[in-house]
Amino acid sequence: MIDWSKIYSPYKLVFISLVCALFVIYPEVTWIPWELSKLEESKRVGYIAFFVFRYGFYAALIFLLIKLNLQKLKTPSFKIRLGYNALITISAYVLYGLISFLIYSKVRHFGSLVLFQFFIMCLLTTFTGYIFLLYKEQNKKEQEIEQLKIENLQSRYDALTNQINPHFFFNSLNGLTSLIRKKDNEVTLTYVNKLSDVFRYILQSDKKGLVTLGEELEFVDAFRYMMEVRFANKLEYHIETDPKRLSYKIPVLSILPLLDNIVVHNMIDSDHKMEIRIWLNEAQELVVSNPIYPKLSSPVTNGTGLKNLENRFSLLMNKQIRIENDGVTFLVYLPLI
């Protein structure tokens, strides 16, 4: 975002005014040696003093006009802007003529060249203010478009994230119901505590986009306990990570839909023990793999799990996940940053 206060800095405006005034009066600067050579020595000081006065007057006028055009005149009409500047310039021209005549009456001070210089200053400052206004309006529009893009991305991300919670919620309640029926109070209490940790993380996820890999794996640890209790010794997790790489970033709730899909789409029983592996490969990707034990009948799902995950990685990281399925093992590669 542009800091307009720095652009409006008085020091910058003074510097620009001095440079512009020098540009306007430059032709006469080249004539100074020739003019001085024709003057008597007693008149040279007056000539130089008058020249310094003119340069200072021009610089002050340009400073006033630039400040007016940048800070006061908000009109997008070039004609109205030019009219204001012309009125001020004509008034300044008359004032300059009076001062020159009263103080430097013996020096050439008021002619067609001076009138042309005032005309140039008027046009120069008008174009400067008009172009700057166009640039400012363009910058404002670009910021508004960028803000709309961010809001659109956030809305899409929120909608995608919200698809996760209902599905997981009902699965978790089914697990809790099973424990209550077994009347194992201690395990049930621990399960409820882990469940609260999991849902706390999910509820806080709407305030987050990217989280560290360490945070995501802490969530997985709580989720793992719930799943291992739910499936007894028929489901195991093997997590292999390098502590030095836990600061990598990943979209929040990236692993949950993968683990949930494993349970939804595979048979998990004494004959089909599920071993889920989570590890980091050399390509800076988090890999989640599991053996494939397809259910006899296709599960009823909305089919948005992996698609949702792909969309979130695309929105938040501008990266794509990879999926490998050889019929025996199912692998998902999640890129990290």
Tell me the per-residue pLDDT of 294-321, one tens digit each, with 9 for 90 and over. 988 877 665 567 887 888 898 888 899 9
Interatomic CA distance for residues 219 and 196, integer angstroms: 11
pLDDT average, residue stretch 250-259: 90
pLDDT average, residue stretch 275-299: 92
**Does the pLDDT at position 173 exceed 90?**
no
Do strands 210-212 and 249-251 pair parallel, antiparallel, or not at all (unpaired)? Answer: antiparallel
Pick the residue with more confidence: 176 or 212?
212
Contacts 24+ apart (CB under 8 A), 132-138: 132/69, 132/70, 133/73, 133/74, 133/76, 136/4, 137/76
Phi and psi, residue 27, nearest 5°:
-55, -40
**Does the pLDDT at position 207 exceed 80?**
no
pLDDT tens readout for residues 232-247: 889 999 999 888 899 9
For the chain, how many residues are written? 337
**pLDDT, position 335:** 96
**pLDDT, position 166:** 65
Architecture of domain 163-335: 2-Layer Sandwich (3.30)
**Does the pLDDT at position 165 exceed 70?**
no
Structure tokens at 41: 């020595």
CB 289 within 8 A of CB 329: yes
**pLDDT, position 4:** 47
Interatomic CA distance for residues 23 and 93, integer angstroms: 18
**Does the pLDDT at position 280 exceed 90?**
yes
Pick the residue with more confidence: 2 or 114?
114
Helical (H) or strand (E) element with 323: strand 322-325
Asked which of 79-88, 165-174, 175-184 is least confident by mean pLDDT, the reply is: 165-174
Residues 6+ apart with CB under 8 A from 301: 167, 264, 265
Q: Concatenated DSSP letters for 194-250?
A: HHHHHHHHHHHGGG-SEEEHHHHHHHHHHHHHHHHHHTGGGEEEEEE--GGGTT-EE
**Does the pLDDT at position 195 exceed 50?**
yes
- Phi-psi domain of 256 (left: phi exceeds 0; alpha: psi -120 through 50; beta: other): alpha
Q: What is the mean pLDDT of the chain?
A: 82
Structure tokens at 214: 């360490």
User: What's the pTM value of the predicted model, to 2 decimals?
Assistant: 0.55
Interatomic CA distance for residues 30 and 20, integer angstroms: 16
CB 185 within 8 A of CB 176: no
**Does the pLDDT at position 155 exceed 70?**
no
pLDDT average, residue stretch 253-264: 88
Ranked by mean pLDDT, the top range of 89-93, 254-258, 287-291, 307-311 is: 287-291
pLDDT average, residue stretch 212-227: 90
Pick the residue with more confidence: 29 or 302?
29
**Does the pLDDT at position 272 exceed 50?**
yes
What are the sequence ranges of the domains in the chain? 4-152, 163-335
CB 251 within 8 A of CB 316: yes
**pLDDT, position 326:** 94
**pLDDT, position 34:** 73
**pLDDT, position 322:** 95
Residues of the chain with pLDDT > 90, as a percent, come to: 22
Interatomic CA distance for residues 290 and 287, integer angstroms: 10
